[in-house]
Chain A
Amino acid sequence: MLLTLTTTHNPATDLGYLLHKNPAKLHSFELSFGKAHVFYPEATAERCTAALLLDVDPVGLVRGKRGQHEGGTLDQYVNDRPYVLSSFLSVAMGRAFGTAMSGRSKGRQELADHAIPLTATLTIVACRAGEGLIRELFEPLGYSVSTEHHPLDEKFPEWGEGPYYSVTLTGTFRLQDMLNHLYVLIPVLDAEKHYWIGNDEVEKLLRKGEGWLASHPHKEAIVKRYLPRQRQLAREALARLAEEDNPDPDATEEAHSEEETKMEEPIRLWQRRMGAVVAVLRSVEAKRVLDLGCGEGKLLRALLDEKSLTEIVGMDVSYRSLEIASQRLRLDRMPTKQRERLKLMHGSLMYRDKRLAGYDAATVVEVIEHLDAPWLAAFERVLFEAARPKTIIVTTPNSEYNVKFETLPAGKFRHKDHRFEWTREQFQQWSRQIAERFGYAVRFLPVGEEDPEVGAPTQMGVFSS
Chain B
Amino acid sequence: MTITIPELSLVVLIGPSGCGKSSFAGEHFKSTEVLSSDFCRGLVSDDENSQEATNDAFDVLHYVARKRLAAGRQTVVDATNVQPEARKPLVALAREFHVLPVAIVLNLPEKVCHERNQSRPDRQFGPHVIRNQSQQLRRSLRGLEREGFRHVFVLSSPEEVSSVTIVRQPLWNNLKHEHGPFDIIGDVHGCYEELTALLVQLGYKINEGPTAPSVTPPAGRRAIFVGDLVDRGPRIPEVLRLVMKMVEDGTAFCVPGNHDMKLMRKLKGRDVQLTHGLADSVEQLDRETPEFKQTVIKFLDDLVSHYVFDEGKLVVAHAGMREEMQGRGSGKVRDFALYGETTGETDEFGLPVRYNWAAEYRGKAMVVYGHTPVAEPEWLNRTINIDTGCVFGGKLTALRYPERELMSVSALRTYYESARPFLSQEETAPALTAQQQLDDLLDIEDVIGKRIINTRLHRNITIREENAITALEVMSRFAVNPKWLICLPPTMSPCETSKRDGLLEHPEEALAYYLHEGVHKVVCQQKHMGSRAVVVVCRDADAARKRFGIMEGEAGVCYTRTGRRFFNDAPLELEFLEKVRKAVEMAGIWEELKTDWVCLDCELMPWSAKAQELLRQQYAPTGASARAALPVAIAALRAAAENPEIAALAEQYQQRKEAAGLYVEAYRRYCWTVHSLADLKLAPFHLLASEGAVHTAKDHLWHMETIGRICQADTGLLLATPFQVVDLTDRADQEKGIKWWEELTATGGEGMVVKPLEFVAKGRKGMVQPAVKVRGREYLRIIYGPEYTLPENLLRLKSRGLGAKRSLALREFALGLEALERFVHQEPLRRVHECVFGVLALESEPVDPRL
Contacts and interface: CB of A to CB of B under 8 A. Distances in A.
Contact of A245 (B446, B614, B671): B614
Interface string B608-624: 10111111111111111
A158 interface: yes
Contact of A381 (B441, B476, B552): B441
A381 B625 CA distance: 52
A241 B785 CA distance: 21
B671 A156 contact: yes
10 contacts: A1-B632, A53-B649, A58-B787, A152-B621, A152-B624, A163-B621, A237-B844, A243-B562, A244-B613, A346-B448
Contact of B443 (A4, A80, A156, A351): A351
Contact of A126 (B466, B467, B476, B625): B625
Nearest to A244: B611
Interface of B: 440-448, 466-467, 469-478, 480-483, 531, 552, 560, 562, 564, 607-608, 610-630, 632-633, 635-637, 639-640, 643, 645-646, 649, 664, 668, 671, 673, 782-788, 793, 796-797, 799, 801, 840, 843-846, 848-850
Nearest to B850: A77
A225 interface: no
Given A2-B629, A243-B610, A351 B474 contact: no
Contacts of A318: 473, 477
B628 A240 contact: no
B784 to A, nearest CB: 5
A59 B796 contact: yes
A349 B607 CA distance: 33
Contacts of B562: 241, 243
Interface string A315-342: 0011100000000000000000000000
Interface centre among A25, A126, A351 (most CB of B within 10 A): A351
B734 to A, nearest CB: 31
Given A77-B850, A151-B624, A166-B628, A317 B472 contact: yes
A83 B626 contact: yes
Contacts of A173: none
A111 to B, nearest CB: 23
Nearest to A84: B625
A346 B470 CA distance: 10
A374 B481 contact: yes
A246 interface: yes
Contacts of A78: 618-619, 622, 782-786
A25 B643 contact: yes
B621 A26 contact: no
Interface stretch (A37-45, A131-139, A422-430): A37-45
Interface of A: 1-2, 4, 24-26, 37, 39-42, 51, 53, 58-60, 63, 67, 69-70, 76-80, 82-84, 123-124, 126, 150-153, 155-156, 158-160, 162-164, 166, 234, 237-238, 240-241, 243-247, 249, 317-319, 346-355, 370, 372-375, 377-378, 381-382, 385-386
Given A67-B799, A153-B624, A159-B615, 11 more contacts: A2-B629, A39-B637, A83-B625, A156-B608, A156-B620, A159-B620, A241-B840, A319-B470, A348-B444, A348-B475, A351-B444
Nearest to B800: A69
B441 A58 contact: no
Query: 5 tightest A-B contacts by CB?
Result: A374-B481, A77-B785, A41-B639, A83-B625, A244-B611
A39 B640 contact: yes
B442 A378 contact: yes
Contacts of B440: 377-378, 381
Given A83-B625, A153-B623, A26 B646 contact: yes
Interface centre among A58, A151, A374 (most CB of B within 10 A): A374
Nearest to B616: A159
A124 B623 CA distance: 13
A42 B639 contact: yes
Contacts of B799: 67
A377 B444 CA distance: 16
Contacts of B607: 244
Interface centre among A70, A82, A347 (most CB of B within 10 A): A82
B627 to A, nearest CB: 8
A58 B793 CA distance: 9
Contact of A63 (B608, B639, B796): B796
B788 A153 contact: no
A447 B740 CA distance: 67
B788 A59 contact: yes
A115 to B, nearest CB: 25
Contacts of A80: 621-622, 624-626
Contact of A26 (B445, B649, B845): B649
Contact of A162 (B444, B564, B624): B624
A79 B619 CA distance: 8
Given A247-B618, A249-B477, A53 B643 contact: no
Contacts of A166: 628, 632
A161 B111 CA distance: 99
B640 to A, nearest CB: 5
B844 A375 contact: no
B442 A164 contact: no
